Amino acid sequence: MALADEAGLDGLSMRRLATELGVVPMALYKHVANKDELLDGIIDAVVSEIDLAPVDGDWKPAIRGRILAARQTLLRHPWAAGAIEARRAPTPAVLAYMDSIIGLFRAGGFGVDLVHHVIHALGSRVLGFSQELFDDSPTDPDAQEKAAHAMAGTYPWLAEMALRVAHDEKTVVGSGCDDQFEFEFALDLLLDGFERLRQAG
């Protein structure tokens, strides 16, 4: 039912999805009340793919692993992050996922209040995506370098950073603006902070 999402990316829908299924648009409404419900459905389908198998051991690697697993799942469906952001009410699968994360924190000795703040601090990162302000799209480093030089006058610091990134990408592959690295960097920074708060009580 909600598995035909892979073929068509989001942004195109309902009528489009209908023809994709060789059916008239209105036929879809025999299965879902409206488009939002359909989106909820496919979001749930994706989120349910995340492995929630119980783990034991330290809370930190457990949570780190689960969040990175969520990230892997969401990266397989690039449209999913955007779709989840847009929703205002969480779907059951998302609730189940959140519950499992909270459970891991609680089992790790975190108090209820601390978990609450910690979840807020993670924000959407808990689901494995971090909502970059602008996508550092994979343009070639040379073009990036040109652009950086161009804005060196107006935005000196930004240009300095952009130049460094472009340079890194040219010399050693993957050391530049590696989304996965940045994600883990931020995640570990937060987890370490949480650990200190936990110890402080």
Partner DNA sequence: CTCGATAGGTGTACGGCGTACACCTCGACC
Partner DNA sequence: GGTCGAGGTGTACGCCGTACACCTATCGAG
Residue type, 196: R
Length of the chain: 201
Give the up-direction half-sphere exposure of residue 49: CA atoms within 13 A in the CB hemisphere.
17
User: Rounded to whole angstroms, how far apart are CA atoms 87 and 36?
Assistant: 8
Considering only residues 12 to 51 of the shown chain, the ones binding DNA according to CB under 7 A are 12-16, 23-27, 29-31, 34-36
What are the residues whose beta carbons fall under 8 Å from the beta carbon of 57, sequence distance 6 or more? none
* Residue 58, binding choice from a copy of itself, DNA, none, Cβ under 5 to 8 Å by partner class: none
* Residue 174, binding choice from DNA, a copy of itself, none, Cβ under 5 to 8 Å by partner class: none
* Residue 31, binding choice from DNA, a copy of itself, none, Cβ under 5 to 8 Å by partner class: DNA
Q: Establish if 88 lies at the interface with DNA (CB under 7 A).
A: no
* Residue 14, binding choice from a copy of itself, DNA, none, Cβ under 5 to 8 Å by partner class: DNA
The tokens for 109 are: 């000795």
Q: Establish if 189 lies at the interface with a copy of itself (CB under 8 A).
A: yes
Assess contact for 127 and 96: CB atoms under 8 A.
no
Q: Establish if 9 lies at the interface with a copy of itself (CB under 8 A).
A: no
Q: Establish if 37 lies at the interface with a copy of itself (CB under 8 A).
A: no
User: Rounded to whole angstroms, how far apart are CA atoms 69 and 72?
Assistant: 5
* Residue 56, binding choice from a copy of itself, DNA, none, Cβ under 5 to 8 Å by partner class: none
* Residue 102, binding choice from a copy of itself, DNA, none, Cβ under 5 to 8 Å by partner class: a copy of itself
In degrees and rounded to multiples of 5, residue 100 shows phi and psi of: -65, -40
Cβ nearer to a copy of itself, comparing 18 with 41 = 41
Q: Establish if 116 lies at the interface with a copy of itself (CB under 8 A).
A: yes
User: Rounded to whole angstroms, how far apart are CA atoms 170 and 189?
Assistant: 27
Assess contact for 20 and 8: CB atoms under 8 A.
yes
Assess contact for 109 and 198: CB atoms under 8 A.
yes
Burial class (CB within 10 angstroms; exposed 0-12, middle 13-18, buried 19+) of 8: middle
Residues near a copy of itself, by CB under 8 A: 84-85, 87-90, 94-96, 98-100, 102-103, 106, 112-113, 115-117, 119-121, 123-127, 130-135, 137, 151, 154-158, 160-161, 164-165, 177, 182, 185-186, 189-190, 192-194, 197
Residues near DNA, by CB under 7 A: 12-16, 23-27, 29-31, 34-36
